[in-house]
Amino acid sequence: MLGSDALEKWEQHAASESGLMNIILGNTCFTSAISAMKQGCTKMDSTNRCWLAIQFTMCFQRASGFKVLDCPTACPKYKRLQACVEDCTAKMDQNTYTTYTQFFGDVFNMCLFLQTQNFQEWTTALVQDMYSQTAAANASLSAIKGQLTSQQQLLQQSLQSLADLQTVQLQVADAAQAGLAEVQAVGALSVGIQQSVNESLAMTSQLLNASEGLLQQSQGIARLMELLLHYQHSGASLLHSLHSSSTTLQDIGFYAACLSVPLLFFTHPPDARLLLLLSVLAAWVAERAALQHILPLQHMLLGGGGGLGAAGGAAAAAAGGGMHYSYLHAVKLGVRVAVLGGGAGLALWMLLRRHAEQQRKEELFQQLKRSYDAASVASKKPQRRRRSGL
């Protein structure tokens, strides 16, 4: 039987199995066999064709009312398909084997027909695809042809524009030659103007050289005057400092001792050391300022004893000198005690505050350490309990 006839015949049997009751009862033998054949025809070997022929044989026996071959509808996964085929064919009688051989040929013919039909469909689709691609290529070629035509027209227009541009360029070249002749005439005229300008520049350069010489002479005179004024101011300052200076060797020794205290003993902390050094400097500045205001007053008081005669003047000078020394000593002592005492008090306050902060830090560290020890002991107790329970 031809493959198309056999396929049509068994598809009719499969169509008769499309009822709802057949589906519910599982009477879809031909439908399952035809579906398996269509899915596996492209890669089907002789073993698969034998198994499909067995399935069609069983379907035919069931549809005809004959005794159905004792063979499973699906080969178990633990067995090879060849073993399942051999088991089924061993159980066949003569009539069943004849039906099986007929279905084996029908399966081969139907697979060949299906493959031919699939090849025809694939070929038809390929031809249609080639036709559509050819039509698209023709359309693209037509569009390219239209674009080439428009580009040719544009090229012709461009050539005409280039010809017009060349004509304009020739006209411009003629005008440029005429302008060049006029420029040459102007250049000849500018040569004379350039010579006059050069002569004016030479005279201006001479005037500038003369002005620079005068400026250098005036700058030298100004520097000489500034130097004389500087020497005069330096001399006046020196005389004033010598007149107002009242520093003794005792003062120098006192301030040297004051400076040695923070430099030698207060090496830490650095801020207290700096405060003491600034206190010593402030005491010296304050003492100098106080003496500059007090010395003129003392001179006026001492000068007032001139009207008492020579003896009285000498006695007054002696008494005034003693008072002058005592008063200066008291002023120096007061300034030193006030400024240095204040600086020492601030330094002591800074040291006490630093010590208090250090104590607070140590107390805080001890509290944290006690908390950590308590937490460690609390965490070890459950572990000991678990170990004792084990």
* Residue-level length of the chain: 390
Output the pLDDT for position 16: 67
Contact 223, 231 (CB under 8 A): no
Residue 347's closest CA among 286, 282, 266, 284? Answer: 266
DSSP per residue, 141-184 = HHHHHHHHHHHHHHHHHHHHHHHHHHHHHHHHHHHHHHHHHHHH
The neighbour count for residue 158, using CB atoms within 10 Å, is: 10
Listed in order, strand segments (DSSP E) in the chain are none
pLDDT tens series, the chain, 390 aa? 555 777 777 777 666 666 555 555 556 787 777 877 887 777 778 888 888 888 888 888 888 888 888 888 778 777 788 888 888 998 888 989 998 898 888 888 888 888 787 788 888 888 888 888 888 888 888 888 888 888 888 888 888 888 888 888 888 888 878 878 776 876 777 777 677 657 767 776 776 776 677 678 667 667 766 765 675 565 445 445 434 455 677 788 888 888 877 777 666 667 777 777 888 888 888 888 887 777 666 566 555 544 444 444 555 455 555 666 677 778 888 888 888 888 888 878 888 888 888 888 888 888 888 888 888 888 777 666 666 665
Output the pLDDT for position 17: 65
Dist. CA 335–CA 348, nearest whole Å: 20
User: Domain ranges in the chain?
Assistant: 3-145, 255-362
Q: Reduced to 3 states, what is the DSSP secondary structure of residue 269?
A: coil
Output the pLDDT for position 308: 43
Output the pLDDT for position 329: 79
DSSP state of 308: G
Residue 288's closest CA among 323, 253, 241? Answer: 241
